[in-house]
Amino acid sequence: MKLSHALLAALLVAHCAGASAQWQWLDKDGRKVFSDRGPGGDIPEKNILKRPGGTVAKPNTPVAPVADAPNTPSAPVPALAASKPGGDKTLEAKKKQAEEAEAAKRKAEEERVAKAKAENCARARQAKATFETGARISRTTASGEREVLDDAARAAETQRIQGIIDSDCK
């Protein structure tokens, strides 16, 4: 029975060892952050306190505390060792690839919006030309009945169409 307890305890310790593969750093407000992913590029190297694999910052290297930060320890916080892991190049490549993908996505969205505006512009100009002919124009109401536009309705619709032209035909 004691052997099974010892085996269970050993498995539990081995399982918990993976939890030590965490990052620890100080955020811009001076609070400690724990994560299984590394900090973003906006966190200076000196604010990273612990890396996965047990790499801890050099002791006795003070870091200037952040003013008016809640939960800031009164003792100096140790800075990180100057060495960088070898995966920085792949991380930078992935970051650059993600930025390029985001830029391509933004460009595609801008092109889609520009195409929609051009189509709206063409339709509005065609509608305005139709209204300017002076021909009788009718529309269908919500109940399905057909109504002929009077002069006030024509003027209102022409003004609405001109607003569309002003906003989309630049």
Backbone angles phi, psi at 4, to 5 degrees: -70, -35
pTM of the predicted model over 0.85: no
* Percentage with pLDDT > 70 across the chain: 69
8 A C-beta contact, residue 91 and residue 112: no
8 A C-beta contact, residue 157 and residue 164: no
CA dist., res. 56 & res. 44, Å (int)? 15
Q: How confident is the model at residue 34 (pLDDT cuts 50, 70, 90)?
A: confident
Interval 82-125: pLDDT, tens: 445 556 888 899 999 999 999 999 999 999 999 998 999 999 99
CA dist., res. 93 & res. 87, Å (int)? 10
- Is the pLDDT assigned to residue 79 strictly greater than 50? no
Site of tokens 């002919």: 133
- Is the pLDDT assigned to residue 143 strictly greater than 90? yes
pLDDT at residue number 3 = 61
- Residues whose CB is less than 8 angstroms from the CB of residue 92 and which lie 6 or more positions away in sequence, other chains included: none
CA dist., res. 49 & res. 34, Å (int)? 10
Q: How confident is the model at residue 20 (pLDDT cuts 50, 70, 90)?
A: low
The one-character DSSP state at 133 is: T
Q: Identify the top-confidence range among 33-42, 65-74, 136-145.
A: 136-145
CA dist., res. 7 & res. 5, Å (int)? 5
pLDDT at residue number 53 = 72
* 48-50 vs 146-148, strand pairing mode: unpaired
pLDDT at residue number 110 = 93
> Is 52 in a helix, a strand, or coil?
coil
Mean pLDDT, rounded, of the chain? 78
68: left (phi over 0), alpha (psi -120 to 50) or beta: left
Q: Report the pLDDT averaged over residues 39-51.
A: 85
pLDDT at residue number 14 = 61
- Is the pLDDT assigned to residue 28 strictly greater than 90? no
